[in-house]
Amino acid sequence: MNCAVKALNKEGQPWEVTVEGYSIVARYRWKDATFIGVGARKVRSDYTFIVTLDDKGVWTENDEVEDSTLGAGPSDGGLGIGGSYNISKGKHVIKTWELGLGRDVDILSD
């Protein structure tokens, strides 16, 4: 099964599917951008879906959402640096809309 799962992975795509123990893990990096303006900001968001099979043929599903932001820019006459990191696990329904200008980076390379 591991070969069949690896066949889902394509060079340059924002997802990766792996087999970890009794689980199939699908990671999707849906945001990976660097924004440059008066300051600079690096934003990254990952969604992970995990299906775990037990020895009776029953599966469980879990998902995780991971977001991180790191930025620097002018602040009160000096330089401000800040960041945030959030992770949540469980069932998720995510709707988001954003508009920005950035550059592509190597997906899943960090």
Residue 84 domain-assigned? yes
The structural domain count of the chain equals 1
Q: What is the pLDDT of residue 109?
A: 53
Q: What is the pLDDT of residue 18?
A: 92
pLDDT truncated to tens, each residue of the chain (110 aa)? 667 777 888 888 888 999 998 899 999 988 888 888 788 889 999 999 999 998 898 999 999 999 999 999 888 788 889 999 999 888 767 676 666 555 555 555 55
Six token digits for residue 45: 């968001």
Residue 105 domain-assigned? no
Q: Residue 4 to residues 7, 19, 95: CA-CA distances in angstroms?
A: 5, 10, 31
What are φ and ψ of residue 97, in 5° steps?
Answer: -145, 125
Q: What is the pLDDT of residue 98?
A: 63
Residue-range definition of the domain harbouring residue 28: 2-90
Q: CA 110, CA 67: separation in Å to the nearest integer?
A: 14
Q: CA 13, CA 16: separation in Å to the nearest integer?
A: 8
Helices assigned H by DSSP within the chain: 2-6
Contact 71/81 with Cβ under 8 angstroms? yes
Q: What is the pLDDT of residue 35?
A: 82
Residue 65 domain-assigned? yes
Q: CA 85, CA 42: separation in Å to the nearest integer?
A: 12
Q: What is the pLDDT of residue 26?
A: 93
Residue 36 domain-assigned? yes
Residue 28 domain-assigned? yes
Six token digits for residue 26: 């699908």
Nearest to 28 by CA among 99, 107, 110: 107
Residue 69 domain-assigned? yes
Residue 56 domain-assigned? yes
Residue 108 domain-assigned? no
